[in-house]
Structure 1
Amino acid sequence: MPERYASVLDEPAFSPDALSFFGWYELDKRQWNWIAPESTGFYAFPDLLNTSLSRLLISPSADLYNTWAEEYYDLDFDLKSVTHIFRFLPLAKNTIDILNPDLGLSDIEGDADEIGYPIVDKS
């Protein structure tokens, strides 16, 4: 890890022990650099750009999130509903039913309010 970023490892807001990878962009070289933790330190991870998670973090989109979520959770998700969420459109019962039929508006209302996500009808 470059010395100029080493202080990140001591930052209380982060958890280096739970770090999946660390990436930085070098503007002058126009390239991303990646390292991932290993028990003895860090090692270079040049192919990280080929993972769905890194692509999602660098250029978030509904398509990339859907790809990552399907791989991570081993489930199929409705891209139209995921796009609805990415556009920050108000949640309606039908969107929740598609994404998780076990939940209703009342189940997610508190979480949505906490993050300021709009809900179509709270009644």
Structure 2
Amino acid sequence: MVTDLQEIESTLKNIMLECVPPLQVRKETPTLLELAGTRPAMQGKQKVDGFYFGSVVPKPKDIRLYFFPIYTHVDAFEDIPEGVRKCLKGKSCFHIKKLDEELERAFREMVQRGLELYRKDDLV
């Protein structure tokens, strides 16, 4: 069980970066990794260069994974494992304090599923 926040952040960033390409890195700083699609799309009432996919943001007590496909495609993620569901705060933000192999695998599968949904919707 990993509890070191820097290690958890690194793992989550690597999971997200496995999707580049076809996703693009929109922002990358020490306090933010943000990914988006690559095709112009409407996001709400605004046209954007790439539809928002997700972010990894370190906080003092946990690492946040903002994952937009779980918000836009709710039905596709109803079966996420209980351990992942426990990390979900709100509709699309995961607060991660601990990470074991099972959770890491579940997050990786969830991100890959989100990527496939974006491909299907022609957002990448």
Question: Could you tell me the TM-score, scaled by structure 1's length?
Answer: 0.23
Which of these two proteins has the greater Rg computed from alpha carbons? 1
Where relative contact order (Cα < 8 A, 6+ residues apart) is larger, the structure is: 2
The structure carrying a bigger helix percent of its residues is: 1
The structure carrying a bigger strand percent of its residues is: 2
